[in-house]
Structure 1
Amino acid sequence: MKQNKKDKILRQPLSNRLVHWITAISITMLIITGFGQMPLYGRYLIVQPFGTGWLTRYDLTLYVHYFFAAVLIFIVFYHLVYHVMRKEYDIVPKKGDGKGSYEIIKAMILRKHEPPSDKYLPEQRLAYAYFAFSIGLVIITGIFKVIKNIQGVQASNAFLLWGAQLHNLATVMIIFGIIMHLGAFVVKANRKMLPGMFTGYVDKEYVKDRHSIWYEKLRKHKKD
């Protein structure tokens, strides 16, 4: 049965959805082209699917890598400025999120009712901090790797070694984070958040049940 807008609540406005998907696409392309520069595809890709031949060319993968790196830096800057200007910090980790995450996971395992949550679950705020650190590290080390390629710039071997290692570490952290992020939707309750990243709206009853703190804030704001 089709629901109308009265049965739904806006969880992710257009700005959030654009940031999410542009970041996802940028990171995906950075990972793909980053592997191409190692180079893995030319050595180990025995069968090359149609349209993937360019992945074996270092010059092309480098230019595409730089392009999506610039896109990622822009969208991160936009995300930070946008929310600071609007003073929106719902996704920022709070004191007690570690314990809160434990309580929610325990409730899921024991099939009990979860403790009340705000707009974002404690584990979502912790995941955001994890991605913020990983993406920040990959951007900073990536900038260092670009600077050392500038003509006339001489970097020490230690600088080059640690820059590359930290960049690789950040990449592995991001890949691990993506796997965990997608794996979270194995849990049935989490799947109800998915429509929010496409349409922006989630089910009202879901919000009342799982995000009761946020729901009460919305009710109070509506009354005011």
Structure 2
Amino acid sequence: MTKRIQHWFTLLVSVLMLSFTLSAFASETADNNTTSERLGESAVEGELTGFAGADYWRAVRDGQEGYTTSKSAEHGILISSSGQAWSILKEKWISPLGALAILGCIGLVILAYFTIGPLRLSKQRTGRKIKRWSLIDRTLHWSMAFTFLSLALTGLTLVYGKHLIKPIIPRDIWAMLIYGAKQYHNYVSPLFAVLLFTVMIKWWRKSLFTKVDINWFKKMGGMAGKHKGSHPSADFSNGGEKALFWLLIFGGVFIVFSGFILDFPIFGQTRLDMKLSNLVHILASLMLICGFVFHIYVGLVGIEASLEGMVTGEVDETWAKEHHDIWYEKVKDLPENQPKSESSSTLDDK
């Protein structure tokens, strides 16, 4: 066990060191590019100043409105002075802190695995299967999972790709990659919106909080601390699953509406509307990504046999008793949950 921990710790340190090296290299390259861009901008500004006059551009930068025949929103503002503040907030604060939050969540689940360990079943499996998820439920879950993860990946590429990917691959490949990520993100995002509202309609009743959930949270789901292995009572969904559900719904709503504003800037949105929508979109997305890091951990390795239910639709009787005892008592006598005889099993196989 010690060698295994040392192996994983060495791997984690190596990955972090590699990430730090790539980030440093990317930052240096970005600084050089920024310097070149500023030099180019200075040259352009010099030409424009000479053409239009210093007083004219001073008025433009101060936000003084001009005259135009356009009837669109902000038609009199040539340069939005708040754009620089928005850029600094996004690039210098939100993006780095977002990366730190995601890496921090990944680090926490790795630490939890090696220090606390997975939550195992207290008793042996009985072999009797209890129906938990229908085919429709499982299809909806995996469709949402794939759509969200692919959109998260393309979104992170759009935000962090210029720092981590662009400096180490050829320009042409980078151009195709970032173009493909942008197009995929824009055209698949409406599917996420449809799935989100379908999930809300399908599962909201199972996700309403009750007094039972308070005790579940007090015992941290029986996953850690002095209550580890206690298996607190829960109905069909426990407190953690309900919290994740509502995080998905509320966070997803912010993502969908802010994304709609960004995808379709044809309804009179101002530049300020677009900037605020972009910030809301990034913050809500980062919040959901962090939440699903823990969801993936719990589903894969955090709780023994949790993934089986969403793969096959059935869970072992022992798992149902220990993790969702209230729900188990409600469904254990249903016809579909009765043990099958050998003759019926043989007929089913045929």
TM-score normalised over the length of structure 2: 0.52
* 1:155 counterpart = 2:275: no
1:193-215 deviations in whole A, cap 9, x for unaligned? 11111111111111123221111
Moved over 6 A (4+): none
Preserved contact between residue 213 and residue 234 of structure 2 (Cα < 8 Å): no
Q: Aligned partners of 2:177, 2:217: CA distance in 1, in Å?
A: 43
Give the alignment's Cα RMSD to 1 decimal. Answer: 3.0
Preserved contact between residue 98 and residue 123 of structure 1 (Cα < 8 Å): no
Where does the alignment leave 5 or more consecutive residues of structure 2 unmatched? 1-124, 338-350
* Structure 2 partner of 1:191: 304
* Structure 1 partner of 2:144: 23
* Structure 1 partner of 2:290: 176
Give the drift of 1:121: 1.3
1:110-143 deviations in whole A, cap 9, x for unaligned? 2452332111111111111111111111111111
Aligned-partner SS, 1:155: coil
Identity %, equivalent residues = 21
Higher relative contact order (CA 8 A, sep 6+): 1
Where does the alignment leave 5 or more consecutive residues of structure 1 unmatched? none
* 1:70 counterpart = 2:190: yes
* Structure 2 partner of 1:131: 248
Q: Which amino acid aligns with 1:174?
A: L
Alignment of 1:97-136 (within 5 A): 97-105=213-221, 108-110=224-226, 111=228, 113-136=230-253
Aligned-partner SS, 2:206: coil
Q: Aligned partners of 2:322, 2:150: CA distance in 1, in Å?
A: 37
Decide whether aligned partners of structure 1 residues 79 and 158 sit closer, same or farther in structure 2, where only a CA change above 3 A counts: same
* Structure 2 partner of 1:205: 318
Decide whether aligned partners of structure 1 residues 185 and 37 sit closer, same or farther in structure 2, where only a CA change above 3 A counts: closer
Q: Which amino acid aligns with 1:168?
A: I
Q: Which amino acid aligns with 1:14?
A: L
Preserved contact between residue 141 and residue 166 of structure 1 (Cα < 8 Å): yes
Decide whether aligned partners of structure 1 residues 107 and 18 sit closer, same or farther in structure 2, where only a CA change above 3 A counts: closer
Preserved contact between residue 93 and residue 129 of structure 1 (Cα < 8 Å): no
* 1:14 counterpart = 2:135: yes
Larger Rg, first or second structure (1 or 2): 2
Preserved contact between residue 92 and residue 128 of structure 1 (Cα < 8 Å): no
Q: Aligned partners of 1:175, 1:120: CA distance in 2, in Å?
A: 21
Q: Aligned partners of 1:108, 1:187: CA distance in 2, in Å?
A: 14
Q: Aligned partners of 1:220, 1:176: CA distance in 2, in Å?
A: 39
